[in-house]
Structure 1
Amino acid sequence: MPNYIEGGVTRMSVLRPSKWKIAPQITLVVILVFLGCWAGSWIGRLVIIRSDRGHMLALSNQLLKRAEKVFNEADLVLSRTNGSEHPFCSEEEVDYLRNMLFETKYLKDIGRVKDGAFHCSAVYGPAKAPSPLAKPDLETDDGILVYANTPLAISSATAPIIGNKNANVVLDPTAFDALNDPIYSFGIMFNPSGNQNPLGIFGTLNLGLQLEKLSEGAGRDGDIVFRNVCNARSCVTLHAKVRDLEDSAFPIEASIIGLGGALGGAVGVIMLLLQQKRLSIGARLTEALDRQSLTVEYQPIIDIQSNEPRSAEALVRWIDNGEAISPDIFIPVAEEEGLIGRVTLYVIDRVFADMGPFLQKDRRFRINVNISASDLIDPEFVPTLANRLKRANIQTEQLGLEITERSTANAAAAVDAIHLLRSRGHRIYIDDFGTGYSSLAYLGELNVDGIKMDKSFTQTVGTGSVTVSIVPQIIEMARVLGLSIIVEGIETAMQRDYFAGLKTEIGGQGWFYGRPVNAMAMQKLIQASSI
């Protein structure tokens, strides 16, 4: 770690000048301090607004990429649904719809419609009687029906819906929640081809059918700074209030004003802050890795039957200048910019530094870390990992590896890498199971040790949702394939009791058992449970 040396200030004695010489100097200093502070205040506000545009561009591009994924997934499912070879709304077709829904990431339901009425869906099943469809907010020239915020047939909730021919899909209203930033407001619009205007369906801005095409670019309108971006299928508008930007950057502005007494120095500080502010998330993450300023917290994984902690998951955390940056933001950036390998090894090194002595004493305990697709295909990853384990005197079996479902999209590369890691003794889990690529048929092909069932399934327990009926099927499927099971997102005793009642060996993870904590608190929790 770098050493920081605090410099001292030497006080020098000087001859006392005459009053007539010192007065102009004092006056000049006062004037310069006043002008410097005034200039610093004015320039500071301007810098904050302009330098934030880089962050707005990065966030708007992330939102646009997410929108494209949502609409592409809707197109694919609509096409497959309309191509169904099963009898319309038969039991076989409802099962077909449910299997499709299970493989999606951004959809909440798949419905079948005919003659202007709803007949059945994956979640609702066959309707008792056909329900007339509401009037769409937008009908495109090529026959796509889009509903901005429509009440659902199976609940009082509302959600965006896209339909085509004899099928429609309910989009997940929370599809963009992971990208929320409290300083910004955004709107996501479905952008039809031709001369038709877009329809706002996500976020809080520009909801409903727009009166004109969205004008792309960045600018300022009164107290609002904005950025608009579009592609062939979607548009994103991003707004921030100038006052909110100033409030969020108040320490920066105060520093500029404080250093404004010397105008040259103040300009230098402004340029430095401007450069720092304009750094992309990737550059900031590189700097954080260089400074070793990322931290790791640990969340226990508890055996539901015995209530004993058997393992824990290592979760990386990043606080930059007082701002907590979510892994949902910086991990995708790390993957895109080739930094994810550094992040993975950083977390592993931090785990060994935090928990090494404890793991050496308790050889039964395991820490799970997340790895990515690029780690799987990196030929240096396995030998590098082996060297680190040897230096830390940690057994291979004590380091579990969790792989997100998107990392297994390239099946051939994933299978080979998983086989090699398992041959070394690592336990391999598919993380967030049920939200990505791992279909039931190809899960056995991956030859992993277990699955971590996504918290979205856990949250349906006790709600009466049809989705909860899928949970026993997942558990039984895992049992047949000989996979161990960890259930994520357990937050209530009702949820714990439900999974305990399945009479299957299950690991539980969630706030009911404990929030993520630092290494010392994690060790105390484990030691207390063994008394």
Structure 2
Amino acid sequence: MNRKIFRRVSAWKILLWACLSMLGGMLLAQLALTVAELRHIDASSVQALQRAEDAARATGQALRRAEASPFDHCSEADLTVLRNITYANSYVADLARIDQGKVRCTALWGKLAQPFQLPAPHYQAGPGFDIWLRQEIVHTHSPSNLVALRRSLALTAPTTFDLNRFYQDVSLRITNGDGTRVLVEREGIRYNPAGAIGLLPAVDVTHCNSAMALCAQATARLHWYPVLYPLGLLAVLAGSFVVGALACLLHLRSRRHHSVLDRLRHGIANDEIALMYQPIVCISDRRLKGYEALARWRPADEPEIGPDIFVPLAAQNRLSSALAKAVLARALREMQDLLQADPTLMLAVNTEVADIEDPDFIRFALNLTAPLAALRPQLHLEVTERADIRSTTFTHNIELLRRAGFAIWIDDFGTGSANLSHLSYARFDGIKIDRLFTNALSTGSPLRQVLPNLLRLADELDLQVVIEGIESEEQLQLIRSIAPDIHAQGWLFSKALELAEVLQQRPSSANDELGLAA
């Protein structure tokens, strides 16, 4: 029932995260579009101001060159000079000569049969420059801004503010420095109001050049992403939905991992790590020689959790030492009386390399057993080797424990990283051979030839041996024929026992044959 509720809650969480992610994706898409459009409007204003500055400089230079003409005004030579200046300047549509307020001739039209009377200038810009705005003079096709310097007159080109096509969707206004005169006003020729709605305002961006008394204002209405890019919106929503769902799954997984990790910390601290005891017997006559303590995590009001889950979890999150302390303390507490009653009885406790390298664990083991130092030789610490053991700390601590009386074994010998090379780095009292070799005895596996060599090597090095995984009489007889003096454990002799079963089925004499059925 709890799992169904958890799954239902998880499904709602995933859906909620996905929907929120879709909303966030849409908001981010709108924000990205808005930022891009603001930059676009700003760039339009900057480019327009740059164009106005260039046009003002070019027009001023053209008028100064025209004033420097050495020829009589409106003479053929003078008109040739004006034409050359006009053709070389992309911001000037025509150059003219004025006398007593009248246009007498232009570079493009020559001498005018009827001089054109200019009205009073609209304003003055800088020293000596008169400005007319949107003034139409004879022979011109459209109103144009006029700039005069003494007796020379320039007509600005109508293409002066034809900006890059990228900016043609923005409306532009070029004004004088104080904004009282509009020099050029242009609507965005590609402005698309269908993509903009009243929710989003129009934006004005103005840049000015105080030295040249010019300002450029760019204006555009911001667009609404769903209207402007409907297919893009669908893609954003779909992508955001997937991202949100995946993020929620990762969050739930991480939360579950941390929840289990917190529960494991709590379980270690609150004695939730229970022990079962796997008997160890002599191969020759099945006499009981000791037990291996096997940890089981039994949280309150929850199903038991096997060591294949919590032991690696503890090792990966630096809880291995705390777990080893809890197991060692409980094993000694529960089996103390049996060990004291039978000095030949061994009790094997699993440890990790990290535990042996941890000085706090070494202190704990020594302090815990200090009142019962006589029992230390009966305590066999089996090092479960999951990584290479070549550190000086490990070797030093192994020797420290052995001098204190503990017996040190290599667990799962012959598999993984636990191999012959480790026997040259530290002194051990025994090896435990993995069930992999036991299973190979009754098959055609090449490993069948390895076991006798391992047992011969152990005998030459004076190492005690326990072989795991004996499940059949055939396996027992094969091993007995090879090495009758070693110890073994397996379901052929007994399953792992609860403490109550150990105490109930304990033989009255250590020399009695183990009377436990598999």
TM-score by length of 2: 0.49
Bigger radius of gyration among the two: 2
